Structure 1
């Protein structure tokens, strides 16, 4: 069934087919014309035809070149031979002119002693009295001839390389009546007023009793509506935060700039460890203040000789200057160390998590970035063990939509035992490390808490999970902020 608007458009097709002309004739906007055109096409009364044309526009550079090309300026003063030093143009313009003249075979270049001489060729002499192909095209564009199909492809390519023109795609549409539509026009079309919206006035005046209602096609195609939403990375961050909060964890927060003491030393990482080199860590100018001298002393002793434990430490002379260096945190575990140092016996048992950005001096490629998000977690209390750790990690992975995972023994400097959670990659058909975890070593816990209490710890990055969920193959695509990608990506797994 046709609406009043559809009928008006069909009537206009008797002598007009262009969409813009139809809009002017009916007084309807082009959007409304296209909506009705689709409806007429669904009823096989008209067909929409699209014509694609490539048109040329001059750039600012092109407007300048349309007056005089650099090669024309040189060609006009070149009779037989010419010393390059005698050309009174800017050096950049001379280089451009000579480059194009030589490429077109209009000149040759030879050296006479210390001088570079230009010599005109036979072909160059011919173009002294006639226009160059680029000059002809630029002149025609200025005069209003813009169809790319009318010009030599080589000339258009040259002008594009000189940034003199831009080629745009122009799509024109027309609506052509079908035989069925022409028959409908021949039979005559009755235009009657329709009610498109039931209002109190329509009801009071009883117009609905004498007028027809505008038909609505509930199966008609409608344009996609791009709804407002947060960046998909932020959606994932909020979802991770929600998982830990629902499991009873408290959130840890802190600055991205940290002292080397908290980032490395408090986690029992020796000061000569390769991860503390500039090749792996971003250092920041300035020096940090160290915390409570008692804590610093316990960490120092643990590094040098194992302190009051049975450990032998790392067996070197711990340097306070190294510990005061400022770095962009290389993991959010720095927040776990600070939280442990602030806990009292009465606070236990306790569970904490963090979600934050970390930084590593990595070479950027499809699988590595210099910055990434990580979520850290710790569970502190007497009696917590490896079974609890595996339970927390399994629950987190399942809530993140991962079911095919496994745990295996691993080694990390500040946990013992250590566990790695691996997930199966169906594309590469291999198991991939996702989460590093374990139970903090006494060398970490005792200086921070004052006694050896079990602390479960983990710190996965979740960029790979996001990539798998959105089937993104290159990690750099997570942050390129491509509007098309941001509009089309589905919402996170709420």
Structure 2
């Protein structure tokens, strides 16, 4: 081809012309908008021109800040501490803390957070009186930096971190300490710049080439494919990410665990979320004065507070087992068992309530069942603990059941989940003897992690139910397993529905740790 000619596709020529007319460059998104083409189309053509040295592509990553739905609500309706001050002023300028909680319709934990921000911003005076607290405010406070930033983000939609001044950067750190108000996400910009060779190319006579990008039935039928010039595709060219629909990682892991149990021949069972303490504790030989039954550890229902227990032989047997050991050879706990205590209603604290109910109605071997369901503990939420979480429970009722079989099953179960370094330790639980604990070793964390409590149900548990054969039992926390498999250091991430995190999780979760 003559030096005064150059071969380009119409798309390449169009892109070069645009860049040449707009001071020589532009960001891909803006260029795509000007050309009325997609991002993918523009970046593909730009990649080809870059290989011909007719333009350059420079990438840079910036932190973009945008409001989340809760942040948008705070920007329009006000931050909780702003609303609190308004309530105080409408109430005459002072209000008792308990009354403020009623006015705001918030929980005690939420009120503590609001109180912390009121103190930090020095918006109220706090007076302790008669064992209580009175909050007073004289006037409507000036707009704080974090409030200004919220409104700025609402106006702009999203901004680069580099655009924020020192005041807004400090305010951003305050907002990040709150729950899901703002999102700070990295975004990559690609800038196209025409080279001198590209400008020179536009001065030459352009010979347009028409490449075929798709082999159609018509090309095959007419034989046109023989003379057609097919476009070469670069499989490594950058393209926009696609986020297809997929199952939540929690669902993926639960389905994987369920499949393992079913492959072993287990049957899945369910039980009520609300239980009598009888089935949650008493049947399991947990004494009625055990610390786990305290209101600080267990959620008791306020209304209705009790549920009727059907008069049955099991209740009498459990009562005798607690008081004197009944026919088990045990001395029991040596106290007077209280039926009214056993009738109290709670949110179940473990799914053992499900498996023990099953054993009571299906005492004849062989039986193998499992349960994966929600349980509740009155615990303070932090990076390792939740008040509501998922437990994995199972039992095997068999005449030949033994501790060796239990160890073998648990070892194989975790092997199938991808965990190969497993150890067993002696443990203690009120309802199993012998009892064991199972640890998994994490090479990444360089430590053993406790995963399972297991054992063989004591005679004081099985005999009152009419079960004459051994019952192997185990219970394990699902969230701890999920944290290992998903490489998380905070259990709360599992339930935050962070769209960026969910997008980053593959559809097939890697086994092991």
Q: TM-score, normalised by structure 2?
A: 0.71
Partner residue of 1:9? 15
1:340 aligns with 2:359: yes
Partner residue of 2:91? none
Flag the 1:259–1:43 CA change in 2: closer, same or farther, 3 A: farther
1:384 aligns with 2:430: no
1:386 deviates by: 0.9
Among residues 438, 451, 467, which one is paired with 1:421 in the alignment?
A: 438
1:482 aligns with 2:501: no
Alpha-carbon distance in 1 for matches of 2:430, 2:393: 16
1:428 deviates by: 5.2
1:185 deviates by: 2.8
Partner residue of 2:57? 48
Alpha-carbon distance in 1 for matches of 2:470, 2:142: 73
Secondary structure of the corresponding residue to residue 449 of structure 2: strand
Partner residue of 1:82? none
Alpha-carbon distance in 2 for matches of 1:150, 1:337: 61
Partner residue of 1:38? 47
Bigger Cα displacement from structure 2, 333-342 vs 423-432: 423-432
Runs of 4+ aligned residues of structure 1 deviating over 6 Å after TM superposition are: 50-55, 146-151, 154-161, 168-173
1:307 aligns with 2:326: yes
Bigger Cα displacement from structure 2, 426-435 vs 355-364: 426-435
Contact 1:353 1:378 in 2 (8 A): yes
Alpha-carbon distance in 2 for matches of 1:193, 1:179: 25
Partner residue of 2:89? none
State how many pairs are aligned: 416
Q: TM-score, normalised by structure 1?
A: 0.73
Alpha-carbon distance in 1 for matches of 2:467, 2:437: 26
Partner residue of 2:235? 218
> Deviations for 1:183-227, whole angstroms, at most 9, x for unmatched residues?
433333222433322323344555545553333223323333223
Contact 1:49 1:173 in 2 (8 A): yes
Alpha-carbon distance in 2 for matches of 1:293, 1:391: 37
1:187 aligns with 2:196: no
1:393 aligns with 2:387: no
Partner residue of 1:458? 474
Flag the 1:334–1:155 CA change in 2: closer, same or farther, 3 A: closer
Partner residue of 1:28? 37
Alpha-carbon distance in 1 for matches of 2:419, 2:189: 49
Alpha-carbon distance in 2 for matches of 1:332, 1:252: 10
Once the two structures are superposed, the pairs formed by residues 226-375 of structure 1 within 5 Å of their partners are 226-285=243-302, 286=304, 287-345=306-364, 348-375=365-392
Contact 1:8 1:191 in 2 (8 A): no
Alpha-carbon distance in 2 for matches of 1:40, 1:257: 67
Flag the 1:178–1:447 CA change in 2: closer, same or farther, 3 A: same
Give structure 1 stretches of 5+ with no counterpart.
62-89, 101-133
CA RMSD in angstroms comes to 4.0
Partner residue of 1:441? 458
Contact 1:303 1:315 in 2 (8 A): yes
Contact 1:4 1:214 in 2 (8 A): no
1:171 deviates by: 9.3
Contact 1:11 1:189 in 2 (8 A): no
Flag the 1:353–1:5 CA change in 2: closer, same or farther, 3 A: same
> Deviations for 1:306-333, whole angstroms, at most 9, x for unmatched residues?
1223211111111111111111111110
Flag the 1:149–1:380 CA change in 2: closer, same or farther, 3 A: closer
Flag the 1:238–1:210 CA change in 2: closer, same or farther, 3 A: closer
Give structure 2 stretches of 5+ with no counterpart.
1-6, 66-74, 78-136, 176-181
The structure number with the bigger radius of gyration is: 1
Contact 1:380 1:456 in 2 (8 A): yes
